[in-house]
């Protein structure tokens, strides 16, 4: 054991370390703003103590806080009569009682050369989701390792998550070196083990620092206990490292909401996620392909000539463009991919295993769309970092998946742009976060295919037909009467001068969807294709009557999401299974009973009725003519011609 006497913290005002010589390089570092870093690693490796030491020795702790900390240290601390700086971060009562971190604690501090925002994240495996949350906004990771224990499974898991989340600069903080006698050999052993493990992670820099967070060695001041170490202290390294600037990436501006405080102002409000935007710049709405130029950049403090990543602004445009929440504004020559299918790496965060067919809500930027896990490709083995073929992901597992969204979304590979490459998956039943995801690549040729803006607005087509277009989605058990009612409704609407089209499930199964089966995946694709066709017809100004069993709510919700607000109407054609079976107009129930048809809804597959349909028609007690008339009246209430003012600014 070294004879060097460590310096313990006493409740007195700390002395600020001598600031380094200011120069052009340090001025450039300061100009980039606060460095966002995360402290992570396995439980009890000293993360909170390390950050508490940084806060204390950079004078980020006020005297009244020190007094309270002194009292709390006697009650909860683990350092005897000395102040336990870990309590600066462990603010929850449960954290102090157990001596662990549970929630993510964010703290700000600064030195003479740089400002910092640090996230202290939990080490316990059950709080991995909290760690991933903290890492998602960080630019650098301080990965702590207990010098006595070396690399543990949770250390490897955190390192893998750090790399997946796009953090390319890592500090390997080999802590508690005082407990191994300040052994240079042990430090080198831990350093070599980590570099060997992390080689496949493609980290840009790995800087190993031997330290003792409790006593402050090599945290802010150089330690006399490590004459064999010639590198920087932790603070020196954090002050000088250069991190890639999000402002250097292409512009990505997710629209949070459309601001229209009065009739003379309409702007797209949001935060510049990456890149910069300048007044006069051409921009494209990624999903629609509509182009315009930025007319103004508006803030509460007045207009700006330009805005860079992180700025919350409202943009106005030279032309009237259709833009709403979830849209992404981008440069015409640096567009993201707009697609519905992509591969991604997931950190799975719920007790229920992830598997193919899971239906979730995907949130990327300001857009939220229904999505389906098409396939679990593999999982990451945390011991070897090898990818192992698997069809499920368990709690805290990391693996590659294929995802399909109900609507096209604007994406970039996470390695190229974190702003449009990261997403979360939300459990539709509970509303909890199921996974954090990082986009790898589109699954089709969409990378180089970009939407072409319509030459004529859908509203103009609707105006020419003197009706508001509408998709009327009739769902119900086989034999409930969907096709019969759709045919009767169309005849009456046409007689009234309306422009219509019926999309009948059986007819589509004979042509467009002849290649699909009746298993859940085949049914989902059937609904998707019908929804896409119906959307095109609605854009053409038609009233579209869809007669489709479509047994699963998630599939119908995905179809509904294709349409603008007010252009989709879900109608339940309701009849008891016994009634439908007794009718059996096409002999399908009899074939299902004899085994000649499988996956038959109402027998082999459950039917999920709508929870909140626009209309319910009970065909067991209502004649087809009466049912059709009810539906016609409901449709007519929604398809009145657009007022002429609604066409203001429409593209002709």
Residues taking part in catalysis = 550
Asked if 164 and 398 count as a contact pair (C-beta separation under 8 A), the reply is yes
Residue 481 marked as a ligand binder: yes
Which strand (E) or helix (H) includes residue 459? helix 458-464
Q: Which two tokens stand for residue 226?
A: 């490590």
Residue 121 marked as a ligand binder: yes
Residue 479 marked as a ligand binder: yes
Q: What is the maximal distance between C-alpha atoms in the chain?
A: 100
Residue 264 marked as a ligand binder: no
Residue 384 marked as a ligand binder: no
Minimal CA–CA distance to 292: which of 329, 336, 327, 333?
Answer: 329
Residue 43 marked as a ligand binder: yes
* Residue 403 CA to its chain's centroid (Å): 13
Residue 586 marked as a ligand binder: no
Q: Which two tokens stand for residue 178?
A: 């005082």
DSSP assignment of 324-355 equals -TT-EEE-TTSPPEEEEEEEEEEEE-SSSPEE
Residue 482 marked as a ligand binder: yes
Residue 42 marked as a ligand binder: yes
Minimal CA–CA distance to 60: which of 118, 2, 21?
Answer: 118
Residue 122 marked as a ligand binder: yes
The alpha carbons of the chain give a radius of gyration, in whole angstroms, of 30
Residue 2 marked as a ligand binder: no
Residue 150 marked as a ligand binder: no
Residue 477 marked as a ligand binder: yes
Residue 175 marked as a ligand binder: yes
3-state secondary structure 562-614: CCCCCCEEEEEEECCHHHHHHHCCCCHHHHHHCCCCCCCECCCECCCCCCCCC
Residue 110 marked as a ligand binder: no
Task: Count CB atoms within 10 A of the CB of residue 191.
Answer: 18
The C-alpha atoms of residue 335 and residue 578 are separated, in whole angstroms, by 54
DSSP state of 363: E
The C-alpha atoms of residue 363 and residue 326 are separated, in whole angstroms, by 9
Residue 136 marked as a ligand binder: no
Residue 422 marked as a ligand binder: no
Binding residues for GTP: 41-48, 120-124, 175-178
Binding residues: 41-48, 120-124, 175-178, 476-483
Binding residues for ATP: 476-483
């Amino acid at each position: 054991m070294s004879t060097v006497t460590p310096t313990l913290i006493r409740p007195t005002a700390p002395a600020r370390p001598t600031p380094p010589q200011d120069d052009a390089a340090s001025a450039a570092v300061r100009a980039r703003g606060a460095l966002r870093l995360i402290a992570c690693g396995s439980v009890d490796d000293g993360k909170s103590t390390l950050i508490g030491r940084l806060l204390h020795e950079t004078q980020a702790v006020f005297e009244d806080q020190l007094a309270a900390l002194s009292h709390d240290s006697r009650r909860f601390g683990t350092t005897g009569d000395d102040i336990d700086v870990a309590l600066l971060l462990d603010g929850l009562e449960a954290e102090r009682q157990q001596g662990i971190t549970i929630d993510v604690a964010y703290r700000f501090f600064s030195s003479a050369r740089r400002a910092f925002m640090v996230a202290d994240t939990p080490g316990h495996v059950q709080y991995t989701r909290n760690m991933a949350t903290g890492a998602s906004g960080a630019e650098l990771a301080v990965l702590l390792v207990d010098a006595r224990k070396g690399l543990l499974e949770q250390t490897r898991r955190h390192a893998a998550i750090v790399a997946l989340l796009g953090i390319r600069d890592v500090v390997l903080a080999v802590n508690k070196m005082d407990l191994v006698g300040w052994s240079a050999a042990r430090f080198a052993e831990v350093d070599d083990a980590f570099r060997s493990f992390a080689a496949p992670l493609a980290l840009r820099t790995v800087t190993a620092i031997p330290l003792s967070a409790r006593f402050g060695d090599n945290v802010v001041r150089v330690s006399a206990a490590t004459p064999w170490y010639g590198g920087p202290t932790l603070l020196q390294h954090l002050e000088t490292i250069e991190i890639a600037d999000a402002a250097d990436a292409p512009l990505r501006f997710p629209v949070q909401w459309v601001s229209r405080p009065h009739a003379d102002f309409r702007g797209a409000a949001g935060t510049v996620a990456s890149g910069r935007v300048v007044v006069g710049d051409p921009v494209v709405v990624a999903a629609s392909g509509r182009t315009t130029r930025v007319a103004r950049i508006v803030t509460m403090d007045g207009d700006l000539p330009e805005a860079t990543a992180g700025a919350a602004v409202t943009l106005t445009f030279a032309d009237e463009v259709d833009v709403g929440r979830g849209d992404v504004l981008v440069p015409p020559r640096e567009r993201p991919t707009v697609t519905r299918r992509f591969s991604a790496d997931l950190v799975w965060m719920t007790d229920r295993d992830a598997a193919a067919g899971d239906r979730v809500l995907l949130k990327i930027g300001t857009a939220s769309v229904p999505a389906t896990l098409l396939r679990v490709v593999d999982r990451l083995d945390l011991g070897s970092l090898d990818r192992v073929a698997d069809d499920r992901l368990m709690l805290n597992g990391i693996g590659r998946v294929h995802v399909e969204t109900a609507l096209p979304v604007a994406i970039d590979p996470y390695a190229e742009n974190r702003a449009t490459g990261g997403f979360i998956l939300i459990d539709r039943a509970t509303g909890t976060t199921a996974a954090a995801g990082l986009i790898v690549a589109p699954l089709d040729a969409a990378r180089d295919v970009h939407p072409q803006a319509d030459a004529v607005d859908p509203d103009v087509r609707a105006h020419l037909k003197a009706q508001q277009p509408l998709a009327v989605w009739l769902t119900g058990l086989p034999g409930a009467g969907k096709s019969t009612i759709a045919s009767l409704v169309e005849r009456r609407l046409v007689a009234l001068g309306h422009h219509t089209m019926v999309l009948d499930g059986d007819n589509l199964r004979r042509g467009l969807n002849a290649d699909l089966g009746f298993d859940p995946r085949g049914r989902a694709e059937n609904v998707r294709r019908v929804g896409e066709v119906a959307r095109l017809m609605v854009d053409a100004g038609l009233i579209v009557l869809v007669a489709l069993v479509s047994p699963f709510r998630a599939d119908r919700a995905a179809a509904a999401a294709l349409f603008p607000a007010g252009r989709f109407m879900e109608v339940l054609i309701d009849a008891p299974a016994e009634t439908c079976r007794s009718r059996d107009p096409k002999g399908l129930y009899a074939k299902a009973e004899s085994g000649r048809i499988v996956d038959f809804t109402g027998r082999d597959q459950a039917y999920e009725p709508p929870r909140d349909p626009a209309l319910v028609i009970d065909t067991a007690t209502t004649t087809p003519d009466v049912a059709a008339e009810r539906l016609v009246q409901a449709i007519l209430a929604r398809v009145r011609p657009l007022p002429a003012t609604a066409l203001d600014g429409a593209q002709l």
